[in-house]
């Protein structure tokens, strides 16, 4: 039996887990998580991880671990540090691997979360992925990320940043000219990245822009949005809108929301079609918060794909079966010997 440590670094939360691996079975022993540090100190994140890891080791009564895997937002430098991430208050280079290695003296490896997700889709067996060797993983959440596994090997690139599909530049959606909306600037500062039109944040922000315009023009809101939930002091408050609200309004026939959601699905479908042509995968697994919109997303998506017919044949395109567990097991995909694993969770106390 071998024990491993893993960390999942997100913009909102940081989680660390201890797992036990026996033959090809991985058991999650315990997970601790807390809100990600908002300190401006570039060393605050690694200090937080060290403190959480020490607490986790105390809780599980074990100090002998064979490796530490880390899944994080990017961009990465040499797979060891994070370079000016937009998800942290701290600026500059954020060291992660070196401080953890110096403290715990075990093999420590880090990759971006979408790459870890892609490898996890290969390493951790579900009914759906059992025989798959070549896959694309896409995360649709606040932003859009991707990862590719080719013949069981993750494509990482020189710094571990391969798969930034959210930052492929795309044409401005056709409906933007109808509403005289400007091309959108991305968090990466460039104009018209895929994620500025198709991510969870984009869906929410474009809908809010259109609703504000509607008020400015006609003084009123479409029926669905005329609700106390979207107001502060009786005025429309755009910060109250979530991506889920826009999907829900679209599902209930609000045409403005439908247009925004359809525009996003068109772009996701175009991206997936291009990725199928590039990588010739057996499956495209989709994870992340937006992917939980189930039928409203996957129904139309399936009909909008247009890769080369030969490459499309037999390719699964749909939600990841690892679902909520993906973030939990993803850091370990990096560390474990090249095999395929099933996993379970111990009852936490
Ligand atoms: Zn961008």
Q: Cα of 187 to ligand 1 centre, how many Å?
A: 6
Q: Are residues 252 and 154 in the same domain?
A: yes
Per-residue pLDDT at 348 exceeds 60: no
DSSP designation for 341: B
Q: Are residues 144 and 218 in the same domain?
A: yes
**Predicted confidence (pLDDT) per residue in 304-319, tens digit:** 999 999 999 999 999 9
The model's pLDDT over 17-47, given as tens digits with 9 standing for 90+, comes to 999 999 999 999 999 999 999 999 999 999 9
269 Cα to the center of ligand 1, angstroms: 18
CA 185, 190, 194, 199 torsion-angle sign? negative
One domain, residues 150 and 35: no
Count of domains for the chain: 2
Contacts of 296 (CB under 8 A, 6+ apart): 247, 250, 251, 261
Query: Are residues 333 and 217 part of one domain?
Result: no
Burial (CB count within 10 angstroms: exposed 0-12, middle 13-18, buried 19+), residue 239 = exposed
Confirm if 312 and 305 have CB atoms less than 8 A apart.
Answer: yes
CATH code at 45? 3.30.420.40
Q: What is the pLDDT of residue 349?
A: 45
The predicted-structure confidence for 223-273, as pLDDT tens digits, reads as follows 999 989 999 998 999 999 999 999 999 999 999 999 999 999 999 999 999
Kindly report the CA angle at 283 between 300 and 11, in degrees rounded to 5?
80
CA-CA distance, 327 to 274, in Å (whole number)? 26
Question: How many CB atoms sit inside 10 A of residue 22's CB?
Answer: 9
- Stated pTM of the model: 0.91
Is 52 a residue whose pLDDT tops 80?
yes
pLDDT band at 343 (very low <50, low <70, confident <90, very high): confident
Distance 165 CA to ligand 1 centre (A): 9
Q: How far is the CA of 193 from the centre of ligand 1 (A)?
A: 5
271 Cα to the center of ligand 1, angstroms: 15
Residue 345 pairs with which residues in a beta bridge? 28
Residue 286 and residue 297 share a domain = yes
Compute, in angstroms, the gap from residue 257 CA to the centroid of ligand 1: 23
Alpha carbon of 186 to ligand 1 centroid (Å): 5
Residues 231 and 166 in one domain: yes
My answer on whether 141 and 246 are in the same domain is yes
Percentage with pLDDT > 70 across the chain: 99
- Could you give phi then psi for residue 9, rounded to 5 degrees? -95, 115
Kindly state the average pLDDT of the residues 101-116: 96
Range of the domain at 337: 2-126+324-345
Ligand 1: distance of its center to the CA of 316 in Å? 27
Residue 58 Cα, ligand 1 centroid: separation in angstroms?
41
Per DSSP, the residues of 101-127 read HHHH-S-EEEEEHHHHHHHHHHHB--T
Distance between CA atoms of 88 and 36, rounded to whole angstroms? 8
Residues with CB under 5 A from ligand 1 (ion): 167, 186, 188, 193
Paired with 69 in beta bridges are 6, 109
Confidence of residue 97 (pLDDT cuts 50, 70, 90): very high
pLDDT of residue 155: 96
State whether 118 and 147 are in the same domain: no
CA distances from 207 to 58, 236, 239 (A): 47, 13, 11
Q: Which helix (H) or strand (E) covers residue 299, if one does?
A: helix 294-304
Cα 323 to middle of ligand 1, angstroms: 26
């Amino acid at each position: 039996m071998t024990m491993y440590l893993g960390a999942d670094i997100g913009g909102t939360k940081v989680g660390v887990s201890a797992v036990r691996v026996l033959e090809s079975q991985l058991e999650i022993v315990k997970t601790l998580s807390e809100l990600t540090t908002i300190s401006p100190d570039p060393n605050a994140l690694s200090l937080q991880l060290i403190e959480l890891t020490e607490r986790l080791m105390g809780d599980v009564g074990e100090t002998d671990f064979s490796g530490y895997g880390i899944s994080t937002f990017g961009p990465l430098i040499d797979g060891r540090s994070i370079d000016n991430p937009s998800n942290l208050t701290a600026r500059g280079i954020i060291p992660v691997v070196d401080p953890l290695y110096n403290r715990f003296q075990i093999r420590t490896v880090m990759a971006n979360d979408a790459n870890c997700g892609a490898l996890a889709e290969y390493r951790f067996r579900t009914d759906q992925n059992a025989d798959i060797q070549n896959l694309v993983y896409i995360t649709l959440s606040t932003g859009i990320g991707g990862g590719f596994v080719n013949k069981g090997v993750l494509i990482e690139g020189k710094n571990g940043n391969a798969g930034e599909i959210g930052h492929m530049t795309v044409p401005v959606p056709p409906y933007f000219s109808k509403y005289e909306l400007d091309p959108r600037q991305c968090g990466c500062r460039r104009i018209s990245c895929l994620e500025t039109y198709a991510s969870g944040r984009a869906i929410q922000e474009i809908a809010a822009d259109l609703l504000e315009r509607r008020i400015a023009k006609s003084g009123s809101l479409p029926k669905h949005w005329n609700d106390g939930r979207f107001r502060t002091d009786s005025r429309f408050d755009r910060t109250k809108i979530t991506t889920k609200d826009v999907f829900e309004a679209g599902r209930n026939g609000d045409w403005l929301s439908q247009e925004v959601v359809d525009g996003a699905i068109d772009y996701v479908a175009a991206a997936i079609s291009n990725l199928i042509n590039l990588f010739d995968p057996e499956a495209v697994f989709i994870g992340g918060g937006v992917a939980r919109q189930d039928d409203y997303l996957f129904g139309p998506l399936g009909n909008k794909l247009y890769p080369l017919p030969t490459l499309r044949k037999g390719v699964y395109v749909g939600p990841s079966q690892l679902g909520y567990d993906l973030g939990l097991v993803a850091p370990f995909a990096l560390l474990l010997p090249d095999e395929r694993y099933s996993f379970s969770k111990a009852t936490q106390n």
